């Protein structure tokens, strides 16, 4: 290992590499957490792709009448995210 370190000291330094990066996010899951994450990322000006396996958004919450502990209507909560 000592010989490898000694050899590395003799090498020329590497040139820095600059790459252009696209600001794009992939959010997997269209439940409440995924929708919230996608919305927050998009508000920062980053393009978002939302990937959901089911034919509807909202996850399990979309199938509920109300949410605990407030008893608020699940549809109203989701309407603010979709």
pLDDT, one tens digit per residue, over 2-28 is 888 888 888 998 899 999 989 999 999
- Rounded Cα gap, residues 81 and 75, in angstroms: 10
Beta-bridge partners for 72: 67
* Contacts for 65 with CB less than 8 Å, ≥ 6 apart: 73, 74
Supply the DSSP string of 21-38, one letter for each residue. ---EEEEE--SHHHHHHH
- Give pLDDT tens digits for 21-77: 899 999 999 999 999 999 999 999 999 999 999 999 998 888 888 888 888 888 888
Q: What is the pLDDT of residue 69?
A: 86
Structure confidence at residue 48 (pLDDT): 98
pLDDT of residue 63: 84
The pTM is what? 0.69
Instruction: Please name the residue that has the structure tokens 């909560």.
Output: 77
Confidence at residue 64, expressed as pLDDT on a 0 to 100 scale: 86
Q: Which helix (H) or strand (E) holds 66?
A: strand 66-67
CA-angle at 49, arms to 37 and 41, nearest 5° = 35
- At residue 44, the pLDDT reads 97
């Amino acid at each position: 290992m000592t010989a490898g370190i000694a050899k590395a000291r003799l090498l020329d330094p590497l040139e820095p590499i600059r790459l252009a990066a696209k600001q794009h996010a992939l959010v997997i899951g269209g439940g409440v957490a995924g929708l919230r994450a996608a919305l927050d990322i998009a508000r920062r000006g980053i393009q978002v792709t939302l990937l959901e396996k089911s034919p509807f958004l909202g996850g399990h919450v979309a199938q509920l009448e109300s949410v605990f502990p407030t008893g608020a209507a699940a549809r109203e909560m989701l309407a603010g995210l979709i």
